[in-house]
Amino acid sequence: MNQTEFAAFHNVSRKTVTKWKERGWVVLSGDDVDVEVSNEKLKKYRVKRVTQSVTQPKGNKQGNKGNKPPEFIEVLAEDDETPKDAAERIIQESGAFMDIDEAKRVKENYLALLNQLDYDIKSRKVVLFDDALKSVGEQYARIRTRLLAIPSEQAPRVHRLASVSEVQDCLLDIITEAMEELTKDGGISK
């Protein structure tokens, strides 16, 4: 039997038989279809069309941009499977294993936690990591600048001192003044 006759035998188009052949469901023996083997594969793998149209949008990472309508994939039911059973099977296969009530509960909990996080950020109980990192970097830059300025500003003062203990006390005073200055200016947060 050739592919056209095989298509007529199954009451499908020639194009459908070509698709089945690409999937490995139709086995050829030369130019003819090996009907017995192909029928066994079709019985094992083929799904019949659901009379109720059940569709779901294909995932699109960039969203639906432009004027193109969203693409849909066709959901097929296996033999002796209702549309509801087909939907449950597809949900199980895709990893969504919750019933509608459980999904609603999870969604509500997620939204509540999201709102709580938003509130905590606004009330400053939570600080975003990038913001904290930026603030600390700015504070360290101020401290570094201030400390590096000390030698040129204070060298004449330290040069006049006679003993090591006087130099030590003077340096301690200079560093303490610099730290207090940075704290007063809001450069260092407590």
Q: pLDDT tens for residues 62-116?
A: 444 444 444 445 556 666 777 777 777 776 666 566 677 888 888 899 899 989 9
Reduce the DSSP state of residue 11 to 3 states and report it: coil
Q: Concatenated DSSP letters for 75-120? A: --BPTT--HHHHHHHHHHHHT----HHHHHHHHHHHHHHHHHHHHH
Handedness of CA 94, 95, 100, 103 (dihedral sign): negative
Q: Place 55 in a pLDDT band, splitting at 50, 70 and 90.
A: very low
Distance between CA atoms of residues 43 and 41, nearest Å: 5
pLDDT computed for residue 98 by the predictor: 67
Higher pLDDT residue, 51 or 124? 124
Output the six-digit token pair for 120.
């905590």
Cβ proximity of 10 and 36 under 8 Å: no
Does 186 have pLDDT greater than 80? no
Indicate the pairing of strand 72-74 with strand 55-57. Answer: antiparallel
Residue with tokens 């004449």: 156
Residues linked to residue 57 through DSSP beta bridges, in sequence order: 72
Q: Whole-prediction pTM value?
A: 0.35
Q: pLDDT tens for residues 135-164?
A: 999 989 988 998 888 888 888 888 888 899
pLDDT computed for residue 94 by the predictor: 64
Does 13 have pLDDT greater than 80? yes
Q: pLDDT tens for residues 14-25?
A: 888 888 888 888
Cβ proximity of 25 and 37 under 8 Å: no
Q: Place 58 in a pLDDT band, splitting at 50, 70 and 90.
A: very low
